[in-house]
Structure 1
Amino acid sequence: MSKNNIWYLAGPFHQYQEDVKALAKEHGLVILDANAATSRNGEAKDVPEVTIRPELKAAAVVVEAGGLSQDVVDQLTAELAAIGVIVESFAAQALERPAGELGETGSRLFQVLEAVNAGISSLQSERDGEVEKAGKLQEENEHLRAEIAALKQAAASDPEVEQLKAKLTEAGVTYRANASKESLQKQVDELAK
């Protein structure tokens, strides 16, 4: 039988007045962030009471009857809708400025997101340039490797080089395997002396 000792508590844990880690240890509980948990398996029934620190409680705006005019409420609603369009278009990676008056907050948000888009575009262009440059370097590298291989093949298959190596081997003289034709010729000429 499994023990129900998991305390599902909404994080962040520093928002509580109490030391929740000490409370959990005292009660033999394991704390899991309730916001991130996908199930409530093993949930403890008897958990300590905790309270959110007063300075972190959301401030509630109370509007008494007649406190705001309908025009102000309509203006705020329109501004909020415009902000919603801006945020959604940014999330879809197609930033769009809604028609009509955005209000101060909406205008500022649009400016900030426009600057973010410009920065991202600049970074993408820079990245694309670097990728293109790396591709060209890779092609050049492959070309040079092919040239080196061809030169090695040509040097290895040169009958004169093979004859020079054979003469040196016959005389018991050591030589570098990748020695040039001129170097080998010089060693053979020294044998005659």
Structure 2
Amino acid sequence: MARDMSPVLKRCRALGLEPTFLGIDKKSNRNFARAGKKISEYGTQLREKQKAKFIYGVLEKPFRNNFDKAKKLKYGTTGENLLILLELRLDNVMFRMGYGRTRTEARQIVDHKHVLVNGKCVNIPSYQVKAGDVISIKEKCKSAQRYKDILEVTDGRTVPAWLEADHENLTGTVKEIPTRDQIDVPVNEVLIVELYSK
């Protein structure tokens, strides 16, 4: 499976992004600003798309598929729908609930068949969860040291209002579909729509 292997902090600097949005508790000592470089309109739009792809760990083809799906939805705006679809990915939901320090780790946990959705094993990170879905870690994996280590790091992380997490039992519920206001990613989705509309 193709993956973005670029250095995280370097990529964050290039995109003007705080590493905390990726679940990484590191700071870059270098300056975000790109001295004297004026970015074109296209460049600004492209950067927003790259930012969204980088935050959610999605490559171009699946990102474009999500965009096409968002465009076909009969409610809401395309940009908001795109972010909601990305937010409802199983790997992202695991990260949001605190069962992965980063989205990459959450994706690996899903890949390794540790996750149950409504009692059924799901190992597809891009699986779209729905309101009412119950997500849990497999019983035989719950005692693993890995999850104790993860929760040590993520316990202070705020779980979004649209999710419910029970860290003691390593389970969680999707209470509702998130709204744009509940998605805290620093992405201007309007620019992504403009880019794809060209």
**Higher share in strand:** 2
TM tier, shorter chain? under 0.3
Which structure has more RCO (C-alpha within 8 Å, separation ≥ 6)? 2
Look at both structures and tell me which one has the larger radius of gyration over its CA atoms: 1
TM-score by length of 2: 0.16
Q: Which has the higher helix share?
A: 1
